[in-house]
Structures are given as C-alpha cells and as structure tokens.
A = this chain, B = another copy of it.
Amino acid sequence: MTTMFDEGLAPRQANFAQLSPATFVERSGRVFPDRLAVVHGVRRHTWAQVLRRSRQLAQALARLGIGKNDAVALMLLNTPEMVEAHYAIPGMNAVMLPLNVRLDAASIAFMLEHGDAKVVLADAEFFGTLAESLKILRAHGRPEPVIIDVLDSSLPPDPAAPRMGALEYEALLAAEDGSVPLRNADSEWDAIALAYTSGTTGQPKGVVTHHRGAYLNAVSNLVTWAMPLHPVYLWTLPMFHCDGWCFPWSIAAQAGVHVCLRKVDPVAIFKLIKQEGVTHYCGAPIVHNSMINEAQANPPKLGHPVKAMVAGAAPPAAMIEGLEGIGIEVTHVYGLTEVYGPAVVCPQQQAWGPLPLGERARLNARQGVRYPLQEAVEVLDPDTMQPVPHDGETIGEVMFRGNITMKGYLKNPEATEAAFAGGWFHSGDLAVVYPDGYLKIKDRSKDIIISGGENISSIEIEDVLYRHPAVLAVAVVAMPHDKWGETPCAFIELKAADQKRIAADPQAEEALRQDVVRHCREHLAGFKLPRAITFGELPKTSTGKIQKFELRGRAGSARAIDV
C-alpha cells in the first residue's frame, strides 16, 4: 500500500547513493590534498597523490578491459601499491582478490583459477611462486591472467632483478592522467572482494564481500576507536587479510597516514612508532608479544599514546600488562573473514578500572559484544537456534546477523546454505555468554578436546600456559589416547632467553617442562592437564595465527609425559 509518506517519494539520484568506500578516498584527496597519506621507507605520498595514483590505476585497469565483477588478484605486501589497489579496484566496481602471499604455488593457482582472476598485481618477491602457479594454470588449459610487475622502489635498486609480466605498475600509472574520479559501485550489494579462507581441510572457500558491508565496517572501526582526523596507522596487520579489516577505508575516511611495512619486525615497529608518530596498529597476539619481548630487551620511549587492536586469540594478562607498560592501550576484538574482520569488541567498562590486573585481563580476554554497526551477534544452540543462557558456562555457537556479513561463498552453494542456515551466519566458534552479555570463545568446534566424555577447551589451557613467564606462544591440540579417547597436547614456543638456556642444557629443558606442569596443576583441573609438552617454533599462518591442523598431525607422535 502506498501511503502519503511514499507517494512520489521514491529514491532518486539526489537522495540515494550506493554505499561504497571510494567516496572516502575522493573526499580526503580533495579536502586534505597536502596531508601525508602514505609512508613507505623514503617514499611519501600526500592524499592528492594517492587519489591521483588510485585513479590512474583504475584507468589503467579499465584500459586492460577490467570492469564490473572482474577479479584483480593482489600478490602484494603492505606497500603503497596495496593501499592504492584498495582504492582503485572498488572505485571502478571490479573485485579485489587479495592472496595470502605465504601460500604455496598450488594454493595460489587454485585461487586464481577458482576466482577467475583477470589480472595479478605481483610484488617481485613472489615472482617465483607466481610463475609456478601459472604453470599449473597452463597445465589445466586455463587462460593466464595479465601480470603487472610491482617493483618496490623503497628497496635498494637491483638492475639484475627479474621481470615477470610485460607490464610494470609505475609505467602503467604514468600513461594515465588520473582525471576519472573513483566512483561508487553500481550497487552497494556488488562484490568488493573475494578472499579465500585458509581452510584446514579440503579446498579453501572463497568469501565474497560487498560494498555496503565494507563501507559500514570501515565506519564501525572509526566509531569503535573514536578515531580522530589524521590518525597514523602502522600496517602490522597484513592487508591481504580481510582487506586489512577494512582499515584502508577507515584511514581514508579520516585522512590518516598509512605507514607501510613489508615484514613484521619489532625493532622496525618501534622505530616507526617513534619516527612517524604512529597512533594506531592492529595484529595477532604474536605481533604484540614480539613487541613486548623487544621492549624488555630495549625499552622504547614512545613519547605519545598508542592504541592497538588484538584479535586471533584472547590477550592474556601478561600481554595487556606488557603493552600498558610500554604505553600501548589494547582493544580486544574478534571476527572472521566472513564478517569483514573485527565484528565483536570487548569494550572496557568503567567498573573494571579499579580491579587488579589479573581480573581486568580475565574480563578483557572475553571477545565481548557486537561491533557498533553490526546488527546482531548471539551465541545460539545450533540445534534449536535458541540463545544459550547467559551463565558463563553453557556452550553454543557464535552466530552473526547483519549488514557486515559476506554475500556467501563463491560457487559453493552447499557451503553458503550451511553457513546461513536458520537466518544466521554460523561462525564455527564455540562460546559462552556471561551475565553481562559478553561472549567468550571456548574453542573452534574442531578444537574441542573430548577426554573421557568431558569437553576440554584448548583455549582455557592455552590461557593458563600464556601466564607462564617462559612462554612466548602456545597451542594445545587433542592427542589420541587409548584410555581417554583424547588428551591435551601442548606445543610451546619459548621466549628467546629461555630457548637459549634449554638449547645449551638438556637438563634445563626437563626442569622447565616440570615447572610448566606445576604451573598447569596450580590453575587447571587434573583431567585438563596437557599430557605432552613440546618446545619449539610453532607453525603460523601469514597472519600470525598458529596452524593447529599441522600440530594435530604432530600430536600423534608426541611423547606423553607423566602428569
């Protein structure tokens, strides 16, 4: 029924625009043309330059025949070209396909083929892998994508450096005049990116996200952090991971500075924080831990407050304390590629302020509540789809509903339907909800250890182990056990000093193992104690997440200890 509030009042050009993050780039390029936008070694670009270069890239891609719904793969590190790709490709209604640069050639080939990539922007560091991937495509009889060589001019020039494609990034840009403004997508529901999740089994799934969600999560980041004009953002988080959690567009909206970084290195991080006045950065726990470790050896004097986001695992008390000691205030967030990066945040309540650090850390280690612009996050019983009681004990599955949720999985209707069953996106993460409404992840469905019929949360054991002073990183997985079915098996990466100590003295290793067991016994029920403890470097994904699936393989052969 048309009422007087609709009659003649349909949307039209003057009052309806597609939500699309390109609008932020055009605004900052025009309003703050002379402000610094990108720093990469000796390279410095203003917002006018970044806008111009992004427009040039969009024009160049259009000249190559790229248009709506064409995938442009990005095999890039956190460099200026990666920032520009995040502006140019959405700004011409094409689709970004960011590749995890640490994957093998076969995986990359799968993504290029499955996502039908028309173009690849490739950093010279990855020419070797990419060449292998293209061989696979050729073997499959697939057309090869156009390769655009990206030669990072912040690196020492190397005239003998190999070239891969016929096209070079800077030359392509130079041929365009940058006169065509970036535009919003034809529809805010159009695909903005295709990102493959590093599936632990089977082929990776292609997460298709849309302009509306990317726009809203970019703004949600700003609201969560109350990010002021001109933040200085350090790229410790790989931009290929969930489009850098949408921060490329958040920074554009506030005309901030992207401080680029090819490789996470705590010495470089502290240098850049001081030198460039970095105010914000994000990362997995391993990034923050490596910084704390470095700060213990060489205490940095930051001279200004810094805000950090941590996701991927709950920040243990030692991490919060360590960061606070350096002058870094940490916000705990949680999310997945399917929900554009951070989708849950743990806002610190005023009442927590006077509590002892351990208690604050325990509260802050919970994942929290929905991100401000996401409509709903609930922990539901996946069988009944009813919310679990808010008792801090009953486990259910974390589910999302709202605008900041993917379109679905590419060419995978079964996976899409399963993920959206019952009108909610099923995260696969198991959690409880506390009486204050904050949720806490207990485990991935597949990470629960079932020992003698009891569910054991591997995360609970990891949290305890993180509080041991020698532990830098830890992962607990299930180990097959004749009697109990499964028992916990812990893999521990030690801090540098402890590593050296036990490398030099096998007896020290055994003493440390016993000390770790004592520590666990103090904080855990007997049936939860790890039955095997292995010291060594942990296998990690490019985003710093520990690869449990690899450890599960090793757990079968771990040596059980008597606890």
Mark A residues whose CB is within 8 Å of B: 3-9, 11-17, 19, 23-24, 27, 30-32, 34-35, 69, 95, 116, 184, 189-191, 194, 208, 213, 219, 222-223, 226-229, 253-254, 347, 349-351, 369-370, 372-373, 375-376, 400-403, 405-408, 410-411, 413, 416, 420, 423-425, 437
Q: Which of A4, A95, A254, A411 has the most CB of B within 10 A?
A: A4
Residues of B within 8 A of A254 (CB): 223, 226
Residues of B within 8 A of A208 (CB): 5, 9
A540 to chain B, nearest CB (A): 30
Residues of B within 8 A of A219 (CB): 219, 223, 373
Residues of B within 8 A of A95 (CB): 5
Q: Write the chain B residue with the least CB distance to A212.
A: B16
Q: Which of B11, B19, B27 contacts A189 (CB 8 A)?
A: B11
Q: A4-B116, A12-B423, A14-B420 are in contact. List 6 more A-B contacts (CB 8 A).
A: A4-B69, A13-B423, A15-B425, A17-B403, A222-B222, A229-B347
Are A408 and B9 neighbours in the complex by a CB distance under 8 Å? yes
Residues of B within 8 A of A23 (CB): 375
Report the Cα distance A425→B194, complex, angstroms: 36
A65 to chain B, nearest CB (A): 15
Are B15 and A372 neighbours in the complex by a CB distance under 8 Å? no
Are A408 and B8 neighbours in the complex by a CB distance under 8 Å? yes
Copies in the complex: 2
Interface of A is mostly: loop
CB-CB nearest 7 A-B residue pairs: A15-B405, A5-B191, A13-B423, A226-B228, A9-B407, A17-B375, A14-B420
What are 13 sample pairs from A and B whose C-beta atoms fall under 8 A apart?
Answer: A5-B194, A5-B208, A7-B411, A9-B208, A9-B408, A14-B420, A15-B401, A15-B420, A30-B437, A31-B437, A219-B219, A222-B222, A226-B229
Given A4-B410, A5-B208, A229-B347: A401 touches B27 (CB 8 Å cut-off): no
Given A208-B9, A373-B219: A19 touches B405 (CB 8 Å cut-off): no
Q: Which of A9, A405, A411, A423 has the most CB of B within 10 A?
A: A9
Q: Write the chain B residue with the least CB distance to A28.
A: B372
Are B14 and A405 neighbours in the complex by a CB distance under 8 Å? yes
Residues of B within 8 A of A116 (CB): 4
A86 to chain B, nearest CB (A): 18
Q: Which of B12, B31, B351, B369 contacts A27 (CB 8 A)?
A: B369
Q: Write the chain B residue with the least CB distance to A413.
A: B8
Report the Cα distance A423→B12, complex, angstroms: 7
Report the Cα distance A362→B223, complex, angstroms: 31
Residues of B within 8 A of A13 (CB): 401, 423-424
A206 to chain B, nearest CB (A): 9
Report the Cα distance A528→B21, complex, angstroms: 46
